[in-house]
Amino acid sequence: MNKTQNAFSLLELLIVFIIIGILSAITIPSYQKHIVKAKILDALNFTNSIKLTVTDFYLNHGFWPNNNDINLKNISSTYIKNIKLEPLNAKNNYIEKIIITFKGDSKIENKSLSLISLNDEYNISWHCKPTDINSLDFEFLPSSCL
């Protein structure tokens, strides 16, 4: 008389759980890193209107604004805690620096990132760079900032 198997053995179930555990240990940290990067990109997309306002101010007045020229106190974003402007003078070519301080995740809480304007005679472009103090960890920086 032949006996048919109607269920999985304990060893087969144990192997399945070990495989699931190994895959989880590999994928969960990567997933969490991508979530943090998405929050940073969301905050950077939010700053597009601020970059436009600052650039417009420069084109209309001939100099970069400071924190008193543009009201940035009422800006509300899920992942931005604070935004401040810092006019700089680099080799007689005035540039503007926008410093973004993040919130909303323990890995980026109170960390900051700079947006720096590069201007030539006819074009103004913005590039992100890590700040000197309290900068975002390199693993969370968008690829455009590296």
Mean pLDDT of 21-28: 94
Is pLDDT at 15 greater than 70 in this prediction? yes
Is pLDDT at 1 greater than 60 in this prediction? no
Mean pLDDT of 2-29: 88
Question: Secondary structure of 88-141 in the HEC alphabet?
Answer: EEECCEEEEEEEEEECCCCCCCCCEEEEEEEECCCCEEEEEEECCCCECCHHHC
The residue behind tokens 């940073």 is 40
Q: What is the mean pLDDT of the chain?
A: 84
- Tokens in use for 114? 């700079």
The span from the CA of 146 to the CA of 142, in Å, is 7
**What fold is seen in the domain 33-145?**
Glycoprotein, Type 4 Pilin (3.30.700)
CA torsion sign for 42, 113, 134, 26 is positive
Over residues 45-78, the pLDDT tens digits come to: 989 888 888 888 888 888 888 778 888 777 778 8
Residue 137 has a pLDDT of 85
Which pLDDT band, with edges at 50, 70 and 90, does 145 fall under?
Answer: confident
How far, in Å, are 72, 98, 107, 138 from residue 112 at the CA level? 16, 10, 11, 12
